[in-house]
Chains A and B, each alone.
Chain A
Amino acid sequence: MAHEYPFIPGATTVGVVCKEGVILAAEKRVAYGYLVLSKAGKKVFKLTDKIGAACAGMVADMQMLAKEVAAYASLHTMETRRAASVNAVAKVMANILFERRLFPLLTQTIIGGVDDEGRRIVVLDPLGSLIPDKYACVGSGAEIATGVLESSYREDMTLEEAKELVIRSIKVATARDIQSGDGADFLIITGEGMKEEAVELK
């Protein structure tokens, strides 16, 4: 995405389903072309108590999108008196994205979380396609991160193992992708709830 449009910052964003829950992670660099504009960009977002999003692309777009989806999700919860499912949250985001097909929000998103049906992640493109998967990477470092993730991923990984793997894949991507780096934000979601963590990449 970032190769063709210099005004879109690159990113390495990863989502993984493991035995106990879901891990979402994104590195923190915001770079326009070769200029590192920020080393503290936050690309993971809480949407509900047990659902989060990790994004790549235009930072403004992902922030507004996350806010809007989080608002819809909380409205849904108030109206139905139960927590929104990962599918429902993903679909609402897909609809918002597809509504703007002619003037798209330039973001790729991984939505992940835990609901009654289990642990799942879903990947969305700028136009709002919805593709469920067990592990996924988006952003300019996705190709590199996928290589690492794919070689070691197992569905029965523990949370700790999965976290180590995600760190390793982001590390490799930040080593080879100029537009990714400066540490990573994690969103670790289990049946109990959500935990935010920042990891330094050395």
Chain B
Amino acid sequence: MQGLYGAGIHKGTTTVGVVCKDGVALATDTRVTTGYFIAHKKGKKIHKIDDHLAMTIAGAVADAQNVVDILKANAALFKLTHKRPMPVASATRLAANLLFYNRYIPLLLQAIVAGVDTEGAHIFSLDPFGSVTEEEKFFSTGSGSPVALGILEDGFKENLTTEEAVPLVVRAVKAAMKRDAASGDSFDVAIIDKAGYRELTEEEKAKYVAT
């Protein structure tokens, strides 16, 4: 993906998502690269779509931000017209349709759509062509995903709470930050449960920095 108009096309990323008993936990690194150049050290890769819905992005930033914008607008519209929050599967399907309709010139992004609805907590993964898979346990995208998946395979247990999952997703992302040169700098964590969407503050994240 490097070399397509040279700039801003980043793929080097680590994002992870874990399905929990009471919600979902998401984490990403914050490094934004163009080729071997670190263009930004504090890039936002977890995006809130609605109070119960979020998306992590890896790939071309412009493409991903456009999909996020469309999803945000449609989630708000859905809530207004149907008087209930948009189901996670519906949001994922909408994004998948956007990706599939650009089949011949794909939107270069890998995404995790995660959230909580009446059916419970869900994590879906999306590829650039619009394939959708519902992940039952956890998922990871980006160049650091092999490292992160190793940690998740080892550390995941059934019926984790979001509070218990936070150290796991942080550990997965931090391991990938160490062994994947395209991931690094810092990390972001978000939790979605019945109470809604919440990002960990700098103080909350600080206790994991040393590990």
Contacts and interface: CB of A to CB of B under 8 A. Distances in A.
Contacts of A104: 5
Interface string A142-176: 11001000000000000000000000000000000
Contacts of A3: 6
A130 interface: yes
A125 interface: yes
B6 A123 contact: no
Contact of B60 (A97, A127, A130, A133): A127
B61 A125 contact: yes
B40 A126 contact: no
Nearest to A142: B37
B117 interface: no
A104 B105 CA distance: 13
Interface in B1-45: 3, 5-9, 32, 34, 37, 39-40, 42-44
Interface stretch (B62-70, B90-98, B186-194): B62-70
B6 A131 contact: no
Interface in A70-115: 94, 97-98, 101-102, 104, 106, 108
A68 B44 CA distance: 28
Q: How large is the interface on B (under 10, 10 to 19, 20 to 34, 35 or more residues)?
A: 20 to 34
Contacts of A94: 62, 65
Contacts of A5: 6
A129 interface: yes
B5 A1 contact: yes
Contact of B66 (A98, A131, A138): A98
B109 to A, nearest CB: 11
B37 A130 contact: no
B37 A143 contact: yes
B73 to A, nearest CB: 13
A192 interface: no
Nearest to A127: B62
A108 B42 CA distance: 18
A30 B82 CA distance: 55
Nearest to A138: B7
